[in-house]
């Protein structure tokens, strides 16, 4: 019986890699996602989205070290909040007159929605501990977001998606 578990686990890992998925560790939570797919979608629209951002002096995600130096035990909490933030506040208000860009945004949003569901599973099982550090950092992100009008804040947050993706890659 033990050998069949090893075979099943090996098959699952091979399947994930074949599909381009990577396993991310956010504290005790393990999430499989296709970072290449998200990055490719974002790369295709990055210049367009960032070109729509007239406010270069403000940042939503990189306000002095919003995502840096978060304890490993609190990474699940902050990533859970960030995926909720992107699905509920960002993608909803990111539309352009360019149908190609809108399709790419929709594709990224669908990937985030799928990952959000997996993160909710961890969060609902109390695997994600939200301490003061992650709570304060997320409050700062919301403050930065609320400092702009909804559309500008959403486009700026989408334009900063590479900051989040880079942080996630480093957190692996």
Residue 64 placed within a domain? yes
Assigned token pair, 99: 């149908």
- Residue 159, class by beta-carbon neighbours within 10 Å (0-12 exposed, 13-18 middle, 19+ buried)? buried
Residue 2 placed within a domain? no
**Domain total of the chain:** 1
Q: Give the residue among 92, 102, 97, 69 at the shortest CA–CA distance from 145.
A: 92
Q: The pTM is what?
A: 0.83
Q: Give the residue among 111, 123, 118, 53 at the shortest CA–CA distance from 87.
A: 111
- Between 59-73, 74-88, 105-119, the lowest mean confidence (pLDDT) is in 59-73
Residue 15 placed within a domain? no
Residue 1 placed within a domain? no
Residue 4 placed within a domain? no
User: To 10 degrees, what angle do helices 150-159 and 161-171 make?
Assistant: 40
Determine the Cα–Cα distance for residues 45 and 158; give it in Å rounded to an integer. Answer: 10
**Residue 149 φ/ψ, nearest 5 degrees:** -70, 160
Mean pLDDT score across all residues of the chain:
84
148: left (phi over 0), alpha (psi -120 to 50) or beta: beta
∠ CA 78-45-170, rounded to 5°: 35
**Which pLDDT score is estimated for 65?**
65
82-91 mean pLDDT: 95
Residue 8 placed within a domain? no
pLDDT in tens, 26-73: 888 888 889 999 999 999 999 999 998 888 888 898 865 678 778 888
Question: Which tops the pLDDT comparison, 22 or 107?
Answer: 107
Determine the Cα–Cα distance for residues 52 and 50; give it in Å rounded to an integer. Answer: 5
Q: Give the CATH number for residue 160.
A: 1.20.1250.10
pLDDT band for 133, please (50, 70, 90 cuts).
confident
Residue 87 placed within a domain? yes
pLDDT in tens, 5-17: 433 343 344 344 4
Domain hosting 58: range is 24-171
71: left (phi over 0), alpha (psi -120 to 50) or beta: beta
Determine the Cα–Cα distance for residues 61 and 43; give it in Å rounded to an integer. Answer: 18
Residue 7 placed within a domain? no
């Amino acid at each position: 019986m033990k050998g069949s578990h090893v075979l099943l686990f090996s098959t699952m890992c091979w399947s994930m890699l074949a599909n381009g998925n990577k396993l991310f560790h956010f504290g005790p939570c393990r999430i499989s996602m296709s970072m290449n797919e998200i990055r490719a979608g974002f790369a295709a629209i990055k210049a367009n989205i960032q070109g729509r951002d007239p406010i270069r002096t403000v940042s939503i995600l990189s306000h002095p070290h919003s995502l840096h130096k978060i304890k490993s035990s609190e990474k699940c909490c902050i990533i859970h909040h960030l995926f909720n933030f992107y699905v509920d506040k960002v993608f909803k208000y990111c539309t352009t007159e360019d149908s190609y860009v809108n399709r790419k945004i929709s594709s990224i949003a669908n990937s985030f929605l799928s990952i959000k569901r997996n993160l909710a599973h961890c969060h609902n099982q109390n695997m994600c501990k939200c301490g003061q550090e992650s709570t304060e950092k997320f409050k700062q992100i919301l403050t930065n977001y609320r400092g702009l009008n909804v559309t500008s804040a959403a486009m700026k947050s989408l334009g900063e998606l590479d900051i989040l993706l880079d942080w996630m890659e480093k957190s692996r």
